[in-house]
Chains A and B, each alone.
Chain A
Amino acid sequence: MDVALFVSCLADQFYPRSAVAAVRVLEHLGCRVHFPAGQTGCGQPMFNNGFRRDARALAERMIRVFAPFERVVTPSGSCAAMIREHYAHLFDGDEQRAAHARALASRTREFCEFLVHDLRVDLRALGASWGLPDGRPRRVTWHFSCHLRGLGMTDEPARLLGQIAGVEPVPLERAEVCCGFGGTFATKQPEISGHMARDKAACLRATGAGVCVSGEPGCTMNLAGTCRRAGDGIEFLSPAEAIAASLGLMGDAPAERAAGAREGA
């Protein structure tokens, strides 16, 4: 299957490894991955802050850039939600453009969603394994990003993690509560956002897991920064990175060393 990768500006600049992992996993699963070079951002910050005109311009650009592709896959959940939930509304009253927006929305998938619902992947059958080097299971927890609600997703990332041998999924207390990122919310209301993030970090700490899988670069930025400020050594990986590692696609991975060292300590 031909798949266009929409990397998202945040993953492109801050978490390129997660996008590389997505490419490797998709190719491993038999997809031909394309990266349309004209892509930039989805316009989510503009939309969320009320700059509709700017968001509209970027939506039109996205629609144009990804028009030739049957499937658009992105490792960023909130960008997928932006395209799926809001693009059509940006063109209320302009039926032709709205139809194009709906068409892109119907072809766009979040990475885990694509694996579970389109490819119907069973990682067990692929021999995915991600235990610690000494043979003990790797304790992995999972952050429920709020965009999953908008995408109608429930536990797809957790289901995939559960299919990896050697992974012991650790449930997260108050998993459904927002981590406090919310885009510019984090800088417009830093006190509230920081409080929410510390609350989430405390729940992460309580799991005792060495790795937290987070499918949204924004949440990752917020939570990793909060954990680092608190001196917590938990590692944040995207689902693609965890899956790529379990399939032996990432080569040298300091992630594994660090997580192993922490759990071994």
Chain B
Amino acid sequence: MKNKISSHDRRQLKGYIYILPWLIGFLVLQLIPFIQSFYYSFTDYSIMSSPKFSGLKNYITLFTVDPEFWNSFKVTWIYTLYTVPGKIIMALIVAMLMNRDMKGINGLRTIYYIPSLFGGSVAICILWRLMFMDTGVINGILGAFGLPKLQWLGNTKTALPTICMMEIWQFGSSMVMMLAALKNVPKDLYEAADLDGAGAWDKFKNVTIPQISPIIFFNVIMQTNNALQAFTNAFVITKGGPLKSTYLLGMKLYQEAFSYYKMGYASAISWVIFATIMVVTLLLFRYSSGKVYYSDAGDF
């Protein structure tokens, strides 16, 4: 009995040793800063001096005094509402096109996945910026077709959609998941639908969508979370301009923290982002009930 217990303990110890590097990283680099940031959000902390407790001042300033916050909140939501559906629809369309047996299909799938590998990198953002400059290749193409050139990044109406386009362009990861889900839809369901005289649209609406709804739902959650935290695209391509039309919450957080040294205020912004994500996730779970079909476990 004694030997049995110690062997069990040994196994457990081994397990803990295996996860120790991750655990240390999680505690030191994530959980502790996460808790600290909550404390800092109630302080005046300028990075160059010690934090001083200031109660709810940062939150009150954020919600009642700082007009930039509401602008950033609005911009972030517009960005989310453009990019999440855009990315999922693109992923679904391309996944359906890729879900067929034809020569070279694997190569095509790889090509469509590549933007996701590069996505969000600074180099791609710079490339995107160059493409959409007044003298960039996009205006060159428009000019070749006799169309008027646009000031994509200098105009307050087109700057945000330009940033969104880059995000939507990185639909590869979602596409791969959609493709896997489409391949798992039982063929007999389509055969039954054919026997019932269903058209292509009916099959898509009543068979495909319900069958892949868990994957769509998963993507909605993840893409929404990512979009609400977006930073790199706007920071590199437009620096939040023109006229703060691309000034996402992530950018505001960064600027308050590292340009203006207001770590306490920036922490408050990060907690507002966190709360927003939590509420949105909760709402998505609540309203998905009955709309997401799980073949093996009923509704989520």
Say if A and B assemble together: no
Using a CB–CB cutoff of 8 Å, the interface residues on chain A facing chain B are none
